[in-house]
Structure formats: C-alpha cells, structure tokens
Structure 1
C-alpha cells in the first residue's frame, strides 16, 4: 500500500501520527487521553455522566472524521495495513463501527481488502469495548427508568392488505405486553420469529432487571430470556465482556470473509409529514384506542441496501444453498393457501419489483445520500450492519416482505452469520450493541434526532404533484450499480402513515430507552424504534404506524393500551370488608383481589389466546420462576444446533 501525504492530516494529531507511521507519536497522543474507569467502578448516575464525558473527550481525538474521505484514524490504519497502529487505537477505545465517506466501517474495509490480521485486531477488542460502553451507561438508564411513571402497555403488530384478504393467515402478528416498574422492564410475547411465512410461536418473556434480583443472584442490568415452554431462563448478556480466545477470533473473521457485505439503512433526512385530508379538505382524525389522533403520511423516506463484494467469498448460489441447508421448516404454503391464493400473493410481491414500475406510493427519492451524517444530515438505520450478505442478488428487489416470503439476502445473511459465529459473545448484535445504541449502522444517530417538517394542508396537492414527477424521473434508478465497481446499491422509497396523538401518556423520548432494551431481541420493536428516532412534532406521539412492505401490503404497529400502575406500597392494606369479594367460582386465583388491584388490565386479557391465560396469575411480573432451569447462551446455541441436525437427519431419512 502506497503511503499518504501526512501533511493533509496536520490538524488531527492521531491521523497525522498514523499517516506518518509514527507509532511513538501516536503513543504520546493516546497517553495524553484521560484514563477510563473499570466498568465495575461505575455505580451511580453521577459516575455514568462523568464517564460519558470522558469517553466523548477521548472520541473527539481518536474518532475524528474531519479529514479527506471522512476516515477515522482506525480507517487510515486499515488502509495503510498498519496492525500496530490499529492495535493501539482499539486498545484506547476507538469506535470501529464509524463509517467513512463511502459508508463502510474499518472492520468492513479490512474484510473487503482481505487484511485478516487487521480484522482480528478489531474483532478481538470490539465486544469488550461494547460491554464497557454498556456498563458506563447502565446507571443512567436505571436512573432514567426509575424517574418514569410505572405502567402496563400493549403493542400490537400485524399485516394488512387491501387486495389480499388471506394475509393474516400467513403473516406474523402478535401483541407485546409490557410492564415497567422502577428500573425493571418485562415484555411478554408469543412470536419468536418467522421462517418463510412459517410462524415460529414461542411463549417467552424478556426481563430486564435494572437493579438485579432481590436475592442478589441476578446482577444489575441483566437481560433475561425466559422460555415458558421449556421452563428455561438465560441471561442474554452473560459473558459479553469476556475477551475471546485467538481461536474464536480467527473463526469469527473466517466466517465474516465467507460472504459479501451489505449495509441496509433508512434515510429520513428529507422526510416531510403531510396530513391526510377528508373529502371536505379537512385534516383527517381517527380514534386509536382511547386516543384521538391526526393521520399523516411521511414522504421522502428512503430505504437502501448497499452491498460490497468480498474477494473469495461464496457466490450467490452457494450462499443461498448454504442457508437452505440450515433451514428447519419448509417454505411451502400447501397447508395454508389455495393455488389461487398463492398466485395472488406472488402477484402482489412482484408489484414491488423495480421492473414493475411501482406506483406513487413508492415515493422514490433518489437524491444524494451519505453514510456519515452531521446533525443536519443523518441516517436512521433499520437493521444492525452485519459483515455478511450479498447485495447483488435479485432477491433484494422484493423489499422487506420478501425477507419472510422469498428468502431475501438480508434474512439469509443473518442466518449465515448466526450459523458461522463461533461464540455468542463475539456476535455483537446478539449481545450488547443494541443496548448501547451505537451498533455498526446506527452510530450516526448520536448528534440528535432529525426533525420532520409538517406541511400545511394547502400545500399538499402541490407537493404531491412534485413528488409524482420526481418519482417518474427516478424510478429507473432504484437499483444502481457502479460500472466496473464491486459495490451496488438498491434504493426504495417508502411512505409510512403515522397516527399522531397529543394525549398519549408517554413522550417519545421516554419510550425510546425502553424500546432500545427490547430491540436487542425483537426485530419488530427494532423497526419501530428506528422510525421513532425521527423527531416528530412537539407534543405528539405515534399511537399507530403503518409501514408499507410492498405496494399492497403494510405492517401496522399500534399502541392499543396504556395504564399507569400504582406504587406497590399502596397495596399493603387489605379490603375493609369481604362483602365485595367474588365467589371462588369466578375468582382467577385465591389472591384475586390483590391481583385485580395491582393489575386491573389483566381482567381484559383473560379471554385472549396464548400466554395471556398465564398473565392473570402473575402477582409479581418481575419475579424469577423458582421451578425454571438456568441455561447459558452457549448451551442454548448448542441445543439449537442439535435440533437442526436431528431435523436434517429426519428429512434425509424420509
């Protein structure tokens, strides 16, 4: 690799030292930085605030990007093939996930240039760094949750279609039931995932204990996954801060090098809110549960998938073949749909192909876009960036819905990543990165939330006509590939619909930290969180969101219930008279009176299917079941792999 002109980096000491290959000068720069405290020493909110200020001071030196190509010093070390400088920067806490002008992180650059020594340096450090970041932010998260009101809330999501009446039979749906009390958070759900429209139901609970369990057996900040079917409990963050062995690092890098790189994202920097109008030209209002909301369309939202070829990586055919080999369930709908319904579904999915021309709903906006944004120019990600996947395949043209229906590269790449990852603690998005809110693709959200302009009703027609002309002009640019380049990018315009209410009890700023915790394990919540990072009009909350996945199908996320919980100490006094008590025949349990007081909303859930029949028996939503067995992420992964192997043998024997 040819050298670079160090004089171009004179204003940044860290860049200049790396460009000049002056390791002694780089050491002096790093030694002058404030020292980090040990994670276990950060216990109070004041400690957290002070440590965050220290981290920002360090980042201002070693993560600067005000240089040509918007490269960090770590990017420059990778470009110059300097593992010594990379090791020094990572040991000092460099943010490996920051993107350069082309939208790639330092780790991705190392993988694409086959610099495995540099990739190993970054992989060796990135999980302990993410864990340290989470530990220094945990006291602030706990304190913020403690200041919030306690509540019970329900969030439902399902798919609907104006032309496919049977969509509810094949698309996933669920109601998430969320409790928040003090610094504890619990979410019950029945949808574990979906595999080619095959819904994987799992009666499970996500339990975040901000201050740990009362008996002290569960440490503060634990994120527990409770599987009620198998009666197992797992601390999802167990071992997250443990350094990986050399063999594990090598296996991780080798797995990354097997597939191409992709970077999915959603750009809301040009977003506009247009109020929907009635036939009387008045702003449309609708009731969403108990809340009155105005209906808005969000224009100029662009989803993109940018891909980059990794030399020596498997081809598309090999990639999808390896994914299919790891599937447990088939993708057929023979037991769900008739032949006519299958044709109808396929026709709907084809409507989202760029070759189909689309419709105005696509709202394609092919303006210039960058991957590293300043406060006025910021991209909000929809998925964690993974060093896997091939953006060149034709499957990416079907949008999000094809991730479940046609095995798009995004969903497949996640399967390969989890299959190839040798150790859960190395797989960043399975552990800490979503909790610290600076995973590889959303690091650019730090400057602040992007404000969305609200357009007056009188301007609606003019803007729609302008957008229609822009769509016609730019529709053919949906899928772009640089001639002679190993990169390609597919863009697709979205037009979400939002129901904004001024009466919802929570503010978006209060809800986001809670969604950040749940989004680590729930993709539906992750997509909702990403949209809410857009700064909406003051005093409003999106009680309902509709996101198009293809022109005729959209996913609806609705906040259907919110009830404030009373403090626990108000329930210590028994009723003064037993005359109002119910007979045993209609009591949900022997202690139904206190359950009704502590959770009156549970009466409305008693007839719902799934785990809700168990919810009404919960006295303490945050208690760890005593008859459940603790397991570890490694044991869970091993058990899952064994089940896959048994399934393969069963299919081959048949």
Structure 2
C-alpha cells in the first residue's frame, strides 16, 4: 500500500489501529475526541476489531464509552456474533448485557414520542385476521388462523388473541390479552393475561442473571445465525386480471374498503449461519441442548445444585495480520482475524401481494405506532417491519407476506371503527387473576 493510503488509514481510523496495536492507554485518550460508532472500510467498528482480536480491556473500555453492540459490518455480522466465534464466555456475557441495556435506553428515548403519538390518535377498535399458509403440504394443514382484536384508549392499548407463540411446526393457542398502559413507568407498563388460567405476567423490563447466563449458553451451543428479509430489489406493480383484456386488479376488502392490488417482487429471505465455534460433538448434541434450554430447563447441575455453564473455548491462534494488511484489503475482504470461518448461506425468493385502500380511516404512521407497542409478539414485529417499507399510496388493508422460511401470512384489516366508549376496565388486571412471572417464558 502506498504511504498516502497508509496515512489515510491511520488518520481516518485511529481507534481501529489502536485496537490492532493493543495500546489500551492510547485508546483511552483517543476516545475523548473520536467517534466510537465509526465504521472502517470493512464496516467494522472498533468494538468489532477488539472482539475479533481478543482485546478484552479494549472491549470493556469501548463499552464504557457506549460503543454500539447492535451494529453489523459489511459481511452482516455484529460484535456479538464475532464474540461467539472467538468463544470467550465473559466477553459474550458482557456484550449480551450491554446489548439489552442499549435496547432499553433507545426505547426510553423513543417512549415519550410514542406515548404522545398514541394519545393524539382518536380512540378506536380494530380487528386483524391472520391466516397462515405454507408451501409444505403437511405444515399447511396444521397451521393456525387468528382474529386479533385491538382496543386503543388514550395511550393505552389492549390486544386480544388466541395465538401465543408460533414457529414452523409448533404453536401455542390460548385466550391471551396483552395490555400496554402508556402512563405507567416502563417496568409496569406491559402485562400479558392468560384469561383461561386467570394468571398474568408483567413483561420483564430487565432479565435476571440466570436468564442472561442461560442465553449465553444457548448462543455458545448453537449456530451463529443471521436471517433477514432483503428488500434491496423490492418493487411494487399493479396486479392484473383478465385473460384476454388485461386490466388493473381491484378488490373490496372486508366488504368495506375499495382497494388496488399490487404484486410485490424482489423479497428475498437471506439466511446465513456460522459454526466454527462448535465441535463435532456439539453438532450432534445441538438439537437436544437447544430444546432443553428453550423450554427453560437447565440441563446439568453441579454438586451445589447450580447449573453447569458452558466454558470458554481455547482462544484462536494470535492473529499475524497487521494494521497495514488489514486496512489495505479490498472492502469486506480483509484476512481472517480469528477462527477460520465455517459458513453456509441460503436464500429464498418470495412473491407477495398487497391491497392498498384510500378508504381506511387509520394512517400507516398511526399503525406503525400501534404495532411498535405490541412488537413482543413475533408475527406483529414482522408485520411492522413490512409496513415500514415505502409502500404504494393508501393503507395496506390486506397483506400476503412471508413470516418464516416455509410460512406466509395473509393479514386482513377486516374491521375498524373510531369509538369514544371503550371501557377503562379493559386495561385493568382483573382482581381474581394471580401473578405468574413464568407463564410466558419468551416475554
């Protein structure tokens, strides 16, 4: 690399170079005047490099200066993913804690605006119908459907649903209510009711130490996964009807909303996994371990009755890559800094449809605010992610979108009415309900 390019690398990324050298004292002084969120030409932050190179003191120092954990490099990997690959349990645990703390802080920043936005929307009642389908015949026959009822009053929201949790081949049905009370403090604002068992659970604001360590065990015992719905090539075009004389397709949704139907192309579900941190024995035990942990079971106890935790891996060999070799590499193609990556990727293209109506009384922005509140339910989080795209004009009264690699969902807004008579007791936990903090382990 030329001296000019080398100087540019030193000048533009002083924190990154400092990580390579391992100079903690210099890093500390540089952090006063340099942006800790800065990415280099490979998309790596200083925290990425500190994790990949095993610089524990640098990791702690960067986190103390609020280095973001939920940030990805050009290859799509976060510092946490790289920490799992490196295999140091303490570092993984520290990053998991910091990731959750930063998520809470971001929500607290967003919270006043969200409460204000909800309060400004006129009170309403709405019904969403979910129909799940799969291209796998056996799966398709057993998939559920659900009509979700949403009540909104002031900054309060209640969601009634029969679908608790849902994966490719497993779902949990019930009679569930989710209550958000915007005027309450964060630790008290989210509650889930099981109306059959007459129990309730406050959605935990912070995880316990045991829950954090259980999560670290899962991360260290399973593939490093990165799955996302790529919308880079997404396009909307008017759906056509008719065999000979083609015309733009229209439909009336729920007998109320005149809609224009669009075909969506370019939706790609990209799935990538890494497993260089797993032994052959791990891979054989992987499924059983995951099933045990995700059901809340601690699989092994020591003589004191405490869970046996997954130990740190032996660190990878010390990297022989220097700063000049790293920064001179083409973007995203730098030499390996840790374990040799064991990598697999797959992608699946989806076609989807959406019906847009100018007749629906709610705006897309209002819907996004409502969906943000009920995002703990995974399928609603997927719906919000989709609605946040740049959609054609109108409101998406019917959407047919992928939810899982083998499952699509058709969501229909089948009823909506502004109301000023929504009773307050809908948002209150009934007196005969008993608190069960473990009823919904994923919330």
Is the Cα contact below 8 Å between 2:179 and 2:190 reproduced in 1?
yes
Structure 2 counterpart of 1:271, from 230, 234, 237:
234
SS of 1:495's equivalent in the other structure is: strand
Q: Pick closer, same or farther for the CA change 1:261–1:156 going to 2, 3 Å.
A: same
In structure 2, the residue matched to 1:632 is 437
Is the Cα contact below 8 Å between 1:251 and 1:421 reproduced in 2?
no
Structure 1 counterpart of 2:426, from 618, 621, 629:
621
TM-score by length of 1: 0.55
Q: Pick closer, same or farther for the CA change 1:180–1:14 going to 2, 3 Å.
A: farther
Is the Cα contact below 8 Å between 1:546 and 1:554 reproduced in 2?
yes
Question: Which whole-Å deviations, capped at 9, do the CAs of 1:483-507 have from their partners, x for residues lacking one?
Answer: x961111011101111111222222
In structure 2, the residue matched to 1:231 is 198
Is the Cα contact below 8 Å between 2:218 and 2:290 reproduced in 1?
no
Q: Pick closer, same or farther for the CA change 1:417–1:513 going to 2, 3 Å.
A: farther
Q: Cα offset for 1:195?
A: 6.6
SS of 2:426's equivalent in the other structure is: coil
Is the Cα contact below 8 Å between 1:189 and 1:203 reproduced in 2?
yes
Question: Which whole-Å deviations, capped at 9, do the CAs of 1:533-560 have from their partners, x for residues lacking one?
Answer: 21112x4111111136899985311111
Is the Cα contact below 8 Å between 1:255 and 1:420 reproduced in 2?
no
Q: Cα offset for 1:197?
A: 4.8
Q: Which has the higher contact order (CA 8 A, sep 6+)?
A: 2
Q: Cα offset for 1:136?
A: 2.4
Q: Pick closer, same or farther for the CA change 1:556–1:163 going to 2, 3 Å.
A: same
Question: Which whole-Å deviations, capped at 9, do the CAs of 1:192-230 have from their partners, x for residues lacking one?
Answer: 134775652211111111102xxxxx7676111111122
In structure 2, the residue matched to 1:543 is 397
1:532 is aligned to 2:337: no
Is the Cα contact below 8 Å between 1:159 and 1:553 reproduced in 2?
yes
SS of 1:156's equivalent in the other structure is: strand
SS of 1:257's equivalent in the other structure is: helix
1:294 is aligned to 2:270: no
Structure 2 counterpart of 1:122, from 83, 95, 110:
95
Is the Cα contact below 8 Å between 1:257 and 1:310 reproduced in 2?
no
CA distance in 1 between partners of 2:158 and 2:240 (Å): 39
1:312 is aligned to 2:278: yes
In structure 2, the residue matched to 1:88 is 61
Give the total of aligned pairs: 395
SS of 1:503's equivalent in the other structure is: coil
In structure 2, the residue matched to 1:346 is none
CA distance in 2 between partners of 1:158 and 1:138 (Å): 31
In structure 2, the residue matched to 1:402 is none
CA distance in 2 between partners of 1:19 and 1:485 (Å): 20
Is the Cα contact below 8 Å between 2:368 and 2:387 reproduced in 1?
yes
Is the Cα contact below 8 Å between 2:225 and 2:271 reproduced in 1?
yes
Q: How does 1:228-377 map to 2 (within 5 A)?
A: 228-240=195-207, 245=209, 252-279=215-242, 280-289=245-254, 290-313=256-279, 315-322=282-289, 326=292
Q: Pick closer, same or farther for the CA change 1:196–1:293 going to 2, 3 Å.
A: closer
SS of 1:620's equivalent in the other structure is: helix
CA distance in 2 between partners of 1:162 and 1:491 (Å): 16
In structure 1, the residue matched to 2:174 is 202
1:486 is aligned to 2:342: yes
In structure 2, the residue matched to 1:8 is 9
User: Would you tell me which structure has more helix in proportion to its own residues?
Assistant: 1
1:507 is aligned to 2:363: yes
In structure 2, the residue matched to 1:22 is 23
Q: Pick closer, same or farther for the CA change 1:621–1:97 going to 2, 3 Å.
A: same
CA RMSD of aligned residues (A): 3.3
CA distance in 2 between partners of 1:116 and 1:551 (Å): 31
1:556 is aligned to 2:419: no
In structure 1, the residue matched to 2:336 is none
Q: Cα offset for 1:148?
A: 1.9
CA distance in 2 between partners of 1:636 and 1:220 (Å): 16
1:191 is aligned to 2:163: yes
CA distance in 2 between partners of 1:211 and 1:204 (Å): 22
Is the Cα contact below 8 Å between 1:158 and 1:168 reproduced in 2?
no
Q: Cα offset for 1:257?
A: 1.1
SS of 1:529's equivalent in the other structure is: helix
SS of 2:427's equivalent in the other structure is: coil
SS of 1:627's equivalent in the other structure is: coil
SS of 1:488's equivalent in the other structure is: strand
SS of 1:621's equivalent in the other structure is: helix
TM-score by length of 2: 0.79
Q: Pick closer, same or farther for the CA change 1:262–1:199 going to 2, 3 Å.
A: closer
CA distance in 1 between partners of 2:299 and 2:226 (Å): 19
SS of 2:48's equivalent in the other structure is: helix
Q: Pick closer, same or farther for the CA change 1:283–1:147 going to 2, 3 Å.
A: same
Is the Cα contact below 8 Å between 1:159 and 1:167 reproduced in 2?
no
Is the Cα contact below 8 Å between 1:138 and 1:221 reproduced in 2?
no
SS of 1:497's equivalent in the other structure is: strand
Where does the alignment leave 5 or more consecutive residues of structure 2 unmatched? Answer: 1-5, 301-339
Q: Pick closer, same or farther for the CA change 1:530–1:561 going to 2, 3 Å.
A: same
1:104 is aligned to 2:70: no
Q: Pick closer, same or farther for the CA change 1:146–1:250 going to 2, 3 Å.
A: closer
SS of 1:312's equivalent in the other structure is: coil
CA distance in 1 between partners of 2:215 and 2:225 (Å): 17
Q: Cα offset for 1:118?
A: 2.5
Q: Cα offset for 1:138?
A: 1.4
Q: Pick closer, same or farther for the CA change 1:196–1:554 going to 2, 3 Å.
A: closer
